[in-house]
Amino acid sequence: MFHSKIIITLRKSILDPQGKAVEHGTHSLGYNAVKNVRIGKFVELNVETESKEEAERITKEVSEKLLANPIMEDCSFTVEKASR
Find the angle CA(82)-CA(6)-CA(61) to the nearest 5 degrees.
Answer: 95
Mean confidence (pLDDT) of the chain: 96
Q: How many domains does the chain have?
A: 1
pLDDT tens sequence across 14-30: 999 999 999 999 999 99
Q: How confident is the model at residue 83 (pLDDT cuts 50, 70, 90)?
A: confident
Residue 12, domain CATH: 3.30.1280.10
pLDDT tens sequence across 3-15: 999 999 999 999 9
Give me the count of residues in the chain: 84
Find the angle CA(41)-CA(44)-CA(65) to the nearest 5 degrees.
Answer: 70
Has residue 84 got a pLDDT over 80?
Answer: no
Helix (H), strand (E), coil (C) string for 40-84: EEEEEEEECCCCHHHHHHHHHHHHHHHHCCCCCEEEEEEEEECCC
Domain range enclosing 14: 2-81
